[in-house]
Structure 1
Amino acid sequence: MTAFSLEPAQLAWCAELRALAAERLRPLAEKGEPGRVNRALVAELGRLGLLGRLFTSGALDLCLMRESLAQACTEAETALALQGLGAHPVHAHGTDAQRARWLPAVSDGTAVAAFALSEPGAGSDAAALELTAHPDGTAHPDGDARWRLTGEKCWISNAPEADFYTVFARTTPGAGARGVTAFLLPADRPGLTGRGLDMLAPHPVGALDFDGVPVTADDVLGEVDRGFRVAMGTLNLFRPSVGAFAVGMAQAALDATLAHTARRDAFGGKLRDLQAVAHQVAEMALRTEAARLMVYAAATAYDTGAPDVPGRSAMAKLLATETAQYVVDTAVQLHGARALQRGQLLEHLYREVRAPRIYEGASEVQRGIIAKELYARQEAR
């Protein structure tokens, strides 16, 4: 339900996605192992044509996909989003050879992608990266630049099981955001190792170690020392859709709460008859719809090339992820102890809903981006 001006075909597509997620994707998700890449699920996303749409759709379509899948199967939503996040830099900045090698395999679900930006000492402050690309220092007849990557990445979704990584490394010391380069790195490159991390989120998250990993000019995505633009361009696209993921979870929690409070007997009537309960449900719906509209507005701004995309993307992610945390928590409270049983929908959502407030820029970072954009706009007047 939304008053946003979605076309009937878009609304029908969202309903179809929710049905597909429930009927074909959720059974595969339930067979997966927490903390491991579910390749059967990724392959089914490819067979359904959803992974291919990552590279042919705009930001609004990406949001509709993520919101719809999240309502019925958060694991499918996350698998789709991680494919897009890891492969979008290849789509947007890769050479013809890089695109031909990896994008068809990502689209059909046979290659798993990952976006490797965060480090132990550079999470929210992404410009403080310490993974270093040292010049190789040896002579090469072809004249191509060559480096060795040394350092580590941490909290990388799909690591260490991805087939390739979009890796951001420092090529110019002391240059801050201006000295970072993006590399496309196959997982079998010598010197690259990884390990899984035991995290609250059910999808795989790991750390990567780089021990003199060789890279060349053929591995660069975009331009040398311009990789921070690759990272920020990717995040500007995906931040509203993180909000869409959050809205999908909030809607699932709201739907469960409406059903529960309508049938639950309490104090001589139904739970919904208690004004305190009814007002909480109304607040859940109000915040969910407000977040949805902001997500759609930010995605539309991206698709139309509006000048305020960074600020709108930050607002959408911030409002939607904070809203989802509130809605899911309130849903648990209204359901009572049963909601915290392992295997229950709300227990699952309660674990899932926390991480989006941190990854792709924590809520505090989003507030900083919003303020920066506001003051820049004021100074430009």
Structure 2
Amino acid sequence: MTGFAGSAGFALGADQEEWCARLRALAAGRLRPLAEKGEPGRVNRPLLAALGEEGLLERLFTSGALELCLLRESLAYGCTEAETALALQGLGAHPVLRSGSDRQRERWLPGVRAGRTVAAFALSEPGAGSDAGALTLEARPESGGASGAGSGAAGGGWRLSGEKCWISNAPEADFYTVFARTGEGPGARGISAFLVPADRPGLSGEALDMLSPHPIGSLAFDGVPVGPDDLLGEPGRGFGVAMDTLNLFRPSVGAFAVGMARAALDATVAHTAARTAFGGVLGDLQAVAHRVAEMATRTEAARLLVYAAAGAYDADAGSAQVPRRAAMAKLLATETAQYVVDHAVQLHGALALRRGHLLEHLYREVRAPRIYEGASEVQRTIIAKELYREVREA
């Protein structure tokens, strides 16, 4: 099937709608049973293998931003665990695809595509979550002396020392895209990206018990050796590698949220159309009907903004407007999904609070996207910064 780069993003074509319907059916029919057999908070390798067999992990490397959004939204509608497993593979492997060497790509990406190799994106730290430029994981040159990539490369490499936290797929990933301070400059200008295999000496980790059922953990680096062959991109340019990845994936985080919102909305419409109360059905009550209408309107607005942001990325990934559009899409979609799921629970009543109910599951799932890959407050900061930059440059 051809890509979707030509779509305007506001009206999907028949082939796109058909593909999304097939994905929703696949998520419910094949992927959901595999997800239910997995252990919450752990990497589900059979589920990853199924995503590979269906060719969906390959899509991470061949899709444009809009197609990635449609993929994530459709999977999220039917199986949030499958969506998350796929997205985390993309987040961890995209820096290798875009900035890795031929040798790195040949060594690691075939396994990611097949669902055999688990990737992870290791940016956040205990003291540097939203402020990624403040990370402190140190890459100390092996040769000593000045703290810089030149001395490190001349001495054969660096030693990584410090911690990472809130890392998806940790500590079970097979390799990590790790961002560390090599010191070429202050702030973001002194960060480099490394591909670190999980079996490197000095690397350890532990799982974290989180509200959402995602595999998330912390990592400890005790003099972990890395060399020039482990670099992703150029020394001191690692922050750009991270932002390149996040600019692509932020709209699709919004798509994940839209998928959850649409699932909650559909469940609510079906429930309120059938549930009898006060001599009629719930949907006959104006207070209920108006709330459902508001849920539907906000979901549609978020969906369109996500598609527009993805379309802008596909049209010109280097455009100065891409970070702002991506931030707007993630902000509106994740906040909307929280609103829709919360009101869906309210309209279902105690039924939705029972363990195992779709809305009980979505209620735990929907909270995290407002924080990861840049919290809502960070997105607002990005949006405002870009707006004022445009005024100053006018």
Q: Structure 2-normalised TM-score? A: 0.94
- Could you give the per-residue CA deviations for residues 156-183 of structure 1, whole angstroms, max 9, x where no partner exists? 0000000000000000076100000000
Task: State how far apart, in whole Å, the 1-side matches of 2:197 and 2:13 are.
Answer: 40
Query: Is 1:172 aligned with 2:183?
Result: yes
Q: Classify 1:332/1:228 alpha carbon distance in 2 versus 1 (closer, same or farther; 3 Å).
A: same
Corresponding residue SS for 1:54 = helix
Corresponding residue SS for 2:163 = strand
Partner residue in 1 for 2:61: 55
Query: Is 1:367 aligned with 2:367?
Result: no
Partner residue in 1 for 2:10: 4
Q: Report 1:84-123 matches (<5 A).
A: 84-123=90-129
Work out the percentage of aligned pairs sharing the same amino acid. Answer: 75
Partner residue in 2 for 1:316: 329
Partner residue in 2 for 1:197: 208
Shift of 1:307: 3.1
The residue identity in structure 2 corresponding to 1:249 is M
Task: State how far apart, in whole Å, the 2-side matches of 1:319 and 1:156 are.
Answer: 24
Is contact 2:253–2:330 with CA below 8 Å preserved after alignment? yes
Q: Report 1:1-381 matches (<5 A).
A: 4-137=10-143, 143=154, 145-172=156-183, 175-305=186-316, 306-381=319-394
Shift of 1:3: 8.8
Corresponding residue SS for 2:325 = helix
The residue identity in structure 2 corresponding to 1:325 is Q
Q: Which has the higher mean CA deviation after the structures are superposed, 143-152 or 23-32?
A: 143-152
Task: State how far apart, in whole Å, the 1-side matches of 2:38 and 2:106 are.
Answer: 30
Q: Which ranges of structure 2 fall in alignment gaps of 5 or more residues? A: 1-7, 146-150
Is contact 1:254–1:285 with CA below 8 Å preserved after alignment? yes
Corresponding residue SS for 2:38 = coil
Is contact 1:149–1:212 with CA below 8 Å preserved after alignment? yes
The residue identity in structure 1 corresponding to 2:172 is E
Q: Which ranges of structure 1 fall in alignment gaps of 5 or more residues? A: none
Q: Classify 1:175/1:288 alpha carbon distance in 2 versus 1 (closer, same or farther; 3 Å).
A: same
Is contact 1:144–1:217 with CA below 8 Å preserved after alignment? no
Shift of 1:5: 2.1
Q: RMSD of aligned C-alpha atoms?
A: 1.5
- Could you give the per-residue CA deviations for residues 293-325 of structure 1, whole angstroms, max 9, x where no partner exists? 000000000000043000000000000000000
Task: State how far apart, in whole Å, the 1-side matches of 2:233 and 2:16 are.
Answer: 33
Aligned length: 379
- Could you give the per-residue CA deviations for residues 6-29 of structure 1, whole angstroms, max 9, x where no partner exists? 121111000000000011100000
- Could you give the per-residue CA deviations for residues 46-79 of structure 1, whole angstroms, max 9, x where no partner exists? 0000001100010000000000000000000000
Partner residue in 1 for 2:5: none
Task: State how far apart, in whole Å, the 1-side matches of 2:160 and 2:294 are.
Answer: 50
Task: State how far apart, in whole Å, the 1-side matches of 2:50 and 2:84 are.
Answer: 14
